[in-house]
Amino acid sequence: MAGEILIKPDLQFVKRVMAAGGDTVKQCYQCDTCSVVCNLTPDQKPFPRKEMLQAQWGLKEVLSDPDIWLCHQCSDCTVYCPRGANPGEVLAVLRQMTIEKYATPPLLAKAVGDPKFLPLLILFPMVLLFLALKLTGHWNIPEGTIVYSKLFPTLLVDFIFVPAFFFAVAVLAKGVMAFWQDINAPHPWRVKVEGNLVGNLIATLQDIIFHNRFRTCETTYTRSTNHLFLVFGFIFLLIVTTWGFLNEWVLHNEPPYFLLSPLKLLAMAGTASLLYGIWNIVKERQANAAKAGYGSYYDWFLIYVIFTVGATGLLAWLFRLVGIRILAYPTYFLHLTAVFMLFFYAPYTKMAHIVYRTVAMLHARMSGRGF
Ligand code: SF4
Ligand code: SF4
């Protein structure tokens, strides 16, 4: 019959949702309270009730549902759910599984979500950096004034980090293009996109950069402000990295830079913003754990990596200022390890939400869903 939808439930999928942290999904009895209280959901085809149903029934297509990315995990729905089904957390699990689905290789995404593999994920960049130092004859604490390029010459850093960065960009691009294709594939539940892609993308990015939608959350309202600090911290540090790269390759102006140089000041502002944001996110998660959930290992993996990047960056700077070589260089080594983890694993961690959420918000805007 025309218009019929063939439903293919997958029990293994339900078990995976439950094992990954969505163990409450079966408690949902479809009352729709969650969709009513959610301030972010569109009027047409609202979430998260329909996603709870799809997850309960083992409908894997939910992983190609852009709506799971329109949720900012504010937990308003979790607070009001009369069955304790934790819809906010279930959607977070579905996003994690989506990242896993579109990542290449998916095994690495599975490893990022499994605490058993944490030692390996830390060891990989450490061994890589160690080998780089050993093979280039730099595996010693340099004498004299502390200058980090004495340990890791800029060329060596570029040699490791530039390919790691482009690897992450390529994996993310491949994943997000497949996601875009899937969310636009013909399906009775899907909505069609129309309009100017570039104009809508600019409007979407404006919305994201100022967290306009994120700010409408209630239960964890402060999360949007703290997240904003984090975003601006990253933007500042991205400018610093690009500036440093241009200094090195175009202007041939090698570090160290003097303490109050604009580059250093921007780096300090970025680090401070990053640390302030992540520190408050940790505190806010702990304070709201009883009503909004504590978050999964997958959430905390990224939080700890970002925190380590900020903390080791700050400590490496302080140890250099006070001249403690024996602490400064090892801290810098740890800092580079954390930075590598942040970038290289980005397509497999919650960091990937930057591109998937952007694409989903763009899709919502272009399909007239009130964005
Ligand atoms: S998740 Fe909770 S609030 Fe939402 S439909 Fe299910 S039972 Fe109702
Ligand atoms: S966590 Fe917040 S944004 Fe996400 S579905 Fe629930 S109420 Fe909506």
Counting Cα atoms < 13 Å in the Cβ hemisphere of 310 gives: 23
**What CA–CA distance (Å, rounded) separates 82 from 78?**
9
| One-character DSSP codes across 297-365 | HHHHHHHHHHHHHHHHHHHHHHHHHHT-HHHHHHHHHHHHHHHHHHHHTTTTSGGGHHHHHHHHHHHHH
The one-letter amino acid at 351 = M
Q: What is the pLDDT of residue 220?
A: 67
87 lines ligand 1 (CB under 6 A): yes
- Nearest-atom number in ligand 1 for the CA of 32 is 5
pLDDT of residue 1: 47
40 Cβ neighbours under 8 A, 6+ residues apart: 70, 71, 72, 74, 213, 216, 217
Nearest to 247, CA basis, from 345, 154, 149, 111? 154
For ligand 1, atom 4, which residue shows the shortest CA distance? 34
219 lines ligand 2 (CB under 6 A): no
Looking from the CA of residue 27, the nearest atom of ligand 1 is 7
Helix (H) or strand (E) holding 281, with range, is: helix 262-287
> Is 11-101 a domain of CATH 3.40.50.1100?
no
Taking CA atoms only, the protein residue closest to ligand 2 atom 3 is 71
Ligand 2 lined by 21 (C-beta under 6 Å): no
Burial (CB < 10 A; 0-12, 13-18, 19+), residue 206, is: exposed
The distance from CA 358 to its chain's CA centroid, rounded to whole angstroms, is 12
Residue ranges of the domains in the chain? 11-101, 106-366
Residue 161 to residue 155: CA distance in whole angstroms: 10
Tens place of pLDDT per residue across the chain (371 aa): 455 667 778 899 999 999 888 889 999 999 999 999 999 998 888 999 999 999 999 999 999 999 999 999 888 899 999 999 999 999 999 999 999 999 999 889 889 999 999 999 999 999 999 999 999 998 989 999 999 989 999 889 999 999 999 999 999 999 999 999 999 987 766 777 888 899 999 999 999 988 888 888 777 678 889 999 999 999 999 999 888 888 887 877 766 677 778 888 999 999 999 999 999 999 988 888 887 778 889 999 999 999 999 999 999 999 999 999 999 999 999 999 999 999 999 999 999 999 999 999 999 999 888 76
Task: Evaluate: CB of 160 within 6 angstroms of ligand 2.
Answer: no
